[in-house]
Structure 1
Amino acid sequence: MSFLHPEFLYYMLPPVFILFALLLTQRESQATFFSEHVMQKLRVSANTLTLRARNALFFLMAVFMVIALAAPVIKEGEIEIQAKSADIILALDISDSMLAEDLYPNRLKLAKHKALELLKLAPNERVSVIAYAKNSYLVSPLSFDHSAVSFLLDKLDTDSITEKGTSLLSMLEVVKNNIESDKKKYLLVFSDGGDKEDFSEEIEFAKENNIVVFVIGVATPQGAPIREKNGGFIKQNGDIVISKLNSTISELAVKTGGVYIQSVNSDQDIKKMVSEIESIAKKKELKSKKIEKYIPLFYYPLGLAMIIFLIATSSMSKRKHVEVPATILLALTLFGSTNLKAGILDFKDLSDAKSAYENKEYKKAEGLYKNYATTHKDDASYYNSANALYKQKEYKKAIEQYKKAHFIDDDSEAKKYGNIGNSYAKIGDEKSLQSAIDAYKNSLKLKEDKDIEENLEAVKKALEKKKQQQQDQKNQDQKQNQDQNDQKEEKKDPEQQKKEQNDQQQNQGDGKEKQQNKKQDEKQKSQQEKQEENKKENEQKKQNESKEQKQENKEEKLDPQNSSAAQAHKQDMMSDAEEKKWLKALNNKQKTFLYQLNQDQKIQRSEDEKPW
């Protein structure tokens, strides 16, 4: 036998011996005043332990506890422990197409969730992380520290890499440089597949460098638009881009010896992928260590110390036992208190209610649960009675019963709010749908639940649709009322229309005479002003023409050969109005501020060029 921690024996046993030696040799305080003969007469004889006996037992207890702390063991032999790992490399596509919301909440967040779940499912594997888009970057080297890897993985987003696009070949090159070994490398890719249709180059590169590719396709065949941070969607050539799953990427996985799985909202896909990787991957030995195997014996001295402690703390005196008749106990149980919260036969009522619910006798179950709930103020019974009302499609009554139940634990309270939301959703009017949304949000505050999240999204869509229908109906009603009013006006009697016109003309007659007098005065003044202005303009024109003619005569005299060319150039020039019309026509055809002068030349663009 040996001790794993003998230092406890060296440093704790000597003080224990010294302390209890002083306690055992110390005389009682009464002995300093009275002799032993007198003390024996004064003492009352009782079957109890003396002070010295108790101290001696405490001393033995302390000794055994120190021995237990020293960890006595018996050597059994040596065993060799080997650390092995398959070294999994995680590659996340963080291009803009991963922001599409055809998977909840979007492709990138779901991919990160599944990568974090893999770290939990494979705690003994070394894991590395690569982020890629047009270019690829090493986020974390191979490491057993999953907490650090999780932190770095959670911080990834589409802004981590500025280059747009998806290049799997650059990512494979990073894998090659990350693990420089002749042994196989296991790569798990989370991607929507990008836009490439031929992966032969990537397959050949992976085979040459012993890379086995596993792929989880994080997208749906139906696809979805790519939302930008400003709330809009990415467009190409004026049309909204719909990013879909590129299932051709499955060839990269299958032809390199890996597995392709299309993603789902649950964790079944990542669990299946982990099992596939473990079945295919060959773990390599990282290090080995020999350790000694022992048979522990600490519980023997510790058990003796506990027994001694019980003896030392017991007075060992005689006790008188008083037996109470069984009939008195039964009477006290049945009639002793009327304020008991639960009766003896309450379990029978609850059992009947449960069996009625399971047999789909919901009305009977609701009555039993409701009676028990009102009698005992039991939250669980209120909840169960509400469930029975929900099954009977009595949704408003069910909501009232749910609201009476109040639970301490978050799980039960979250379920209650979820059921309240379901009840409001079943009612289906606009106010109830809004109440359902509030109930679902209260449930998610207490506990995350994928079913509740899906119900919340469905109710939001239903509410928007209902509001749109009401708006359309309102617009339709307004249009019908307008049509009816128009028809009424058309159907008026001709005589009535004539009367209305005569009345209007009579009302306007008095005002017209006054206005005509004013207009005549104003016309006379304006005519006089126009005549004066025309005289001034004619005089100004004559002066300008005489100046221009003199200038032309001077120019002709200076260079008679250029005079004909100048006149021809003047004829070819556009007027200001014509130039404005020409520029306006060009601007209408051009979408930018530049003028497109070479309209006959077609601009060559690559069809593979994508803005995401």
Structure 2
Amino acid sequence: MLRFANTEFLWGLLAIPLLLFIFLRVNWWKRKAIASLGNKEVVMQLMPQVSFSRPWIKFIFFILAYTLVIIGIADPQLGSKTEEVKRKGADLMILLDVSNSMLAQDLAPNRLENAKRALSQLIDKLHDDRIGIVVFAGQAYVQLPVTTDYAAAKLFLNTINTEMVPTQGTAIGAAINLGMQSFDFKNGTGKSMIIITDGENHEDDAVSAAKAALARNVTVNVVGVGSEEGAPVPIYQGGKQVGFHNDSTGHPVVSKLNEQMGKEIADAGKGVYVRANNANSGLNIVMDEIAKVQRKMTDTKQFKDFEDRFQFFLAIAFVLLLAEFFISIRKNMRLSKIKLFEVKNT
């Protein structure tokens, strides 16, 4: 596995087209200047040491050396091997509501972004637990299978938005069922779900789905996002808010937190229900409850012993720069007199 320790230095490679343009421009100017002196063949006889190929050779050496220096500074690293790592943790599935109502702004900046920020902080605190992500609106989709790759989890989390699921609605039951299908029940470790939603479930029987999950020893916890007063649901176009969703009478649709639904689902799944606000996401309370879930030692493969490889690139770059330094832009008159393949007439 290859990675760069200092990826920001790779932006230096963007200078290569500029250097090429400058070189071509100077080369064109030199040819034009020579052509302005008179007949090219006569002028070249008067300047036998002028070479058009040697500047190209020097430039190629320089560009290669420059590229290798940039790569070397970025510090390429190789994962030399994979090894089995023992982890003692639980399997955690996040079910995140991405319906349009999650854009309501009764939590700052809105319900969805508030939840994503809290989940990112939660992932930072994980050590041995495995995590997966399911997004849902009118339908449910697996965004991230259960994994211990927390960096990937945060990467996928950042890409979540309300446009991921084309069918609008809030199918919490379907999300629970899909989460259950995503678990590996053969590993024997404890499992739990965290549903983050405003609770406006209109699609299916989420309570029955939570009871079915509990029957397989999977607890279901619910974090309610929003307020009882609610807030209008904004409409975005091109990343800008252009208005609000209106009902049939022309009044803005107000999305309210359905706490009763959240509590019923949590009760059915023998989990906890907490209500998030701007000051507290409630996830700490949920994680305290999940800490009681049975944990089992599992084997996980991961890359270990990343080793720096910058020295090879810098060494080759040094050799190229040294060679470029000793290559003259003028012809060597002694060598030019040697005609290895010239046929002499006798």
TM norm. shorter chain > 0.5: yes
Q: Does 1:103 align with 2:107?
A: yes
State the distance in 1 between where 2:147 and 2:209 align: 26
Which of 255, 261, 270 is the aligned partner of 1:257?
270
Q: Which residue is equivalent to 2:120? A: 116
Q: Which residue is equivalent to 1:227? A: 234
TM-score by length of 2: 0.56
Gap change, CA 1:82 and 1:145, over 3 Å in 2: closer
State the distance in 2 between where 1:200 and 1:176 align: 14
Aligned partners of 1:122 and 1:274 also within 8 Å: no
State the structure with bigger RCO (CA 8 A, min sep 6), 1 or 2.
2
SS of residue paired to 1:110 = helix
State the distance in 1 between where 2:211 and 2:287 align: 25
State the distance in 2 between where 1:268 and 1:164 align: 25
State the distance in 1 between where 2:205 and 2:112 align: 24
Aligned partners of 1:199 and 1:249 also within 8 Å: no
Which of 202, 205, 222 is the aligned partner of 1:215?
222
Gap change, CA 1:224 and 1:141, over 3 Å in 2: same
How do 1:405-420 and structure 2 match up within 5 A?
none
Q: Which residue is equivalent to 1:181? A: 185
SS of residue paired to 2:290 = helix
Q: What is the letter of the counterpart of residue 84 of structure 1?
A: K
Q: Which residue is equivalent to 1:127? A: 131
Q: Which residue is equivalent to 2:341? A: none
Which of 262, 266, 272 is the aligned partner of 2:279?
266
State the distance in 2 between where 1:284 and 1:212 align: 16
Gap change, CA 1:270 and 1:207, over 3 Å in 2: closer
Q: Which residue is equivalent to 2:212? A: 205
Q: What is the letter of the counterpart of residue 262 of structure 2?
A: I
Which of 155, 179, 200 is the aligned partner of 1:194?
200
SS of residue paired to 1:134 = coil
State the distance in 2 between where 1:84 and 1:186 align: 15
Q: Which residue is equivalent to 1:276? A: 289
Q: State the shift of 1:200 in Å.
A: 3.5
Q: What is the letter of the counterpart of residue 150 of structure 1?
A: K
Q: Which has the higher strand share?
A: 2
Question: What are the Cα deviations for residues 125-153 of structure 1, in whole angstroms up to 9, with x where unaligned?
Answer: 21111111111111111111111110111
State the distance in 1 between where 2:137 and 2:200 align: 9
Question: What are the Cα deviations for residues 514-572 of structure 1, in whole angstroms up to 9, with x where unaligned?
Answer: xxxxxxxxxxxxxxxxxxxxxxxxxxxxxxxxxxxxxxxxxxxxxxxxxxxxxxxxxxx
Q: Does 1:165 align with 2:169?
A: yes
Q: State the shift of 1:120 in Å.
A: 1.0
How do 1:415-430 and structure 2 match up within 5 A?
none
Q: What is the letter of the counterpart of residue 192 of structure 2?
A: Y
Q: State the shift of 1:199 in Å.
A: 4.1
Q: Which has the higher helix share?
A: 1
Q: State the shift of 1:96 in Å.
A: 0.4
Which of 133, 139, 157 is the aligned partner of 1:153?
157
TM-score by length of 1: 0.32
SS of residue paired to 2:271 = coil
Gap change, CA 1:90 and 1:200, over 3 Å in 2: closer
Q: Which residue is equivalent to 1:287? A: 299
State the distance in 2 between where 1:237 and 1:245 align: 21
Q: What is the letter of the counterpart of residue 212 of structure 2?
A: F
Aligned partners of 1:121 and 1:271 also within 8 Å: no
Question: What are the Cα deviations for residues 331-384 of structure 1, in whole angstroms up to 9, with x where unaligned?
Answer: xxxxxxxxxxxxxxxxxxxxxxxxxxxxxxxxxxxxxxxxxxxxxxxxxxxxxx
Aligned partners of 2:214 and 2:270 also within 8 Å: no
Identity over aligned residues, as a percent? Answer: 28
State the distance in 1 between where 2:287 and 2:210 align: 22
Q: State the shift of 1:177 in Å.
A: 1.3
Q: State the shift of 1:249 in Å.
A: 1.6
Question: What are the Cα deviations for residues 392-437 of structure 1, in whole angstroms up to 9, with x where unaligned?
Answer: xxxxxxxxxxxxxxxxxxxxxxxxxxxxxxxxxxxxxxxxxxxxxx
Q: What is the letter of the counterpart of residue 208 of structure 1?
A: A
Question: What are the Cα deviations for residues 481-501 of structure 1, in whole angstroms up to 9, with x where unaligned?
Answer: xxxxxxxxxxxxxxxxxxxxx
Q: What is the letter of the counterpart of residue 118 of structure 1?
A: L
SS of residue paired to 1:190 = strand
> Rg bigger for which structure?
1
Which of 96, 102, 109 is the aligned partner of 1:92?
96
Q: What is the letter of the counterpart of residue 269 of structure 2?
A: T
| Structure 2 segments unaligned to the other structure (5+ residues) | 1-84, 301-346
Q: What is the letter of the counterpart of residue 213 of structure 2?
A: A
Q: Which residue is equivalent to 1:36? A: none
Aligned partners of 2:176 and 2:213 also within 8 Å: yes
Aligned partners of 1:86 and 1:125 also within 8 Å: yes
Q: Which residue is equivalent to 2:316? A: none
Gap change, CA 1:203 and 1:275, over 3 Å in 2: closer
| Structure 1 segments unaligned to the other structure (5+ residues) | 1-80, 289-612
Aligned partners of 2:173 and 2:210 also within 8 Å: no
State the distance in 1 between where 2:269 and 2:101 align: 25
